[in-house]
Chains A and B, each alone.
Chain A
Amino acid sequence: DSGVTQTPKHLITATGQRVTLRCSPRSGDLSVYWYQQSLDQGLQFLIQYYNGEERAKGNILERFSAQQFPDLHSELNLSSLELGDSALYFCASSVLGLAHTTDTQYFGPGTRLTVL
């Protein structure tokens, strides 16, 4: 158990819908990261938040957005869902995650999203 929690564990929805995935980082960690893992691709970095502010962005679609709240939990919002959005979505956290530093990222159990 990494100490990172994610809810829900599974989510099944229809195309065109909107969902929210939730993540609570390890106690004391300030950075939260979101990754997408689909069957035909490896883990793809989506976005990082540090202490409430966006820190780095990957290949995140415009239909996707995220935020980190004052209590440091984070939410990933996926809208206008398409079949291709079906994937495992992982959240990770690290102590700092600042430029020119390298912290170990610890991953949550993931949310499996199925879009029908």
Chain B
Amino acid sequence: GQNIDQPTEMTATEGAIVQINCTYQTSGFNGLFWYQQHAGEAPTFLSYNVLDGLEEKGRFSSFLSRSKGYSYLLLKELQMKDSASYLCAVNMGGGNKLTFGTGTQLKVEL
């Protein structure tokens, strides 16, 4: 199978930092994406990793370790509007189809 595991829910405080982890099976790996999705809305692209290491984009960073089948999304200076579901998605090759995790529902509190 192509299991992608991420925590179901997380809670963090406004202004803090939160790390959302994602693990996946490594066979056929061809890239990993993070998307943000507010309830009932479209997923929006946050980041892409295909090589090991950290990709930084403003308040958002994403890390990948291909040998460990592991990624994380780091959100800094949390804002209330960051409350959303964060989806980890992996391209396992065979075209460009993505396999999504079930998402991590992040709640940002005051």
A residues with a Cβ closer than 8 A to B are 2, 4, 31, 33, 35, 41-45, 48, 55-56, 58, 88, 90, 94, 96-110, 112
Please list 25 pairs of residues, one from A and one from B, whose beta carbons are closer than 8 Å in the complex, sorted by A's number. Answer: A31-B96, A33-B98, A35-B100, A41-B102, A43-B100, A45-B97, A45-B98, A48-B97, A56-B96, A90-B43, A96-B96, A98-B96, A99-B94, A100-B30, A102-B30, A102-B91, A102-B96, A104-B45, A105-B98, A107-B35, A107-B42, A107-B43, A107-B44, A109-B41, A112-B40
Q: Write the nearest CB–CB distance from A79 to chain B, whole angstroms.
A: 23
Give the number of residue pairs across the A-B interface with Cβ within 8 Å: 75
- The complex places the Cα of A56 from the Cα of B103 at a distance, in Å, of 23
Q: Write the nearest CB–CB distance from A42 to chain B, whole angstroms.
A: 4
Q: Of residues 42 to 90 in B, which have CB atoms within 8 Å of A's CB atoms?
A: 42-45, 48, 50, 87, 89
Flag if B42 contacts A2 (CB, 8 Å).
yes
B93 beta carbon closer than 8 Å to chain A: yes
Q: Specify the main secondary structure of chain B where it touches its partner.
A: loop
Flag if B101 contacts A97 (CB, 8 Å).
no
Known interface pairs A2-B42, A2-B44; A101-B96 also in contact (CB < 8 Å): yes
What 4 pairs across the A-B complex have the smallest Cβ distances?
A97-B96, A102-B31, A56-B95, A42-B102
Flag if A100 contacts B45 (CB, 8 Å).
no
**Residues of chain B contacted by A58 (CB below 8 angstroms):** 97
A56 contacts which of B30, B50, B94, B102 (Cβ < 8 Å)? B94
Known interface pairs A42-B100, A43-B100, A102-B31; A108-B42 also in contact (CB < 8 Å): yes
Q: Write the nearest CB–CB distance from B44 to chain A, whole angstroms.
A: 7
- The complex places the Cα of A15 from the Cα of B44 at a distance, in Å, of 32
**Residues of chain A contacted by B41 (CB below 8 angstroms):** 109-110
B99 beta carbon closer than 8 Å to chain A: yes
B24 beta carbon closer than 8 Å to chain A: no
Q: Of residues 5 to 61 in B, which have CB atoms within 8 Å of A's CB atoms?
A: 30-31, 33, 35, 40-45, 48, 50
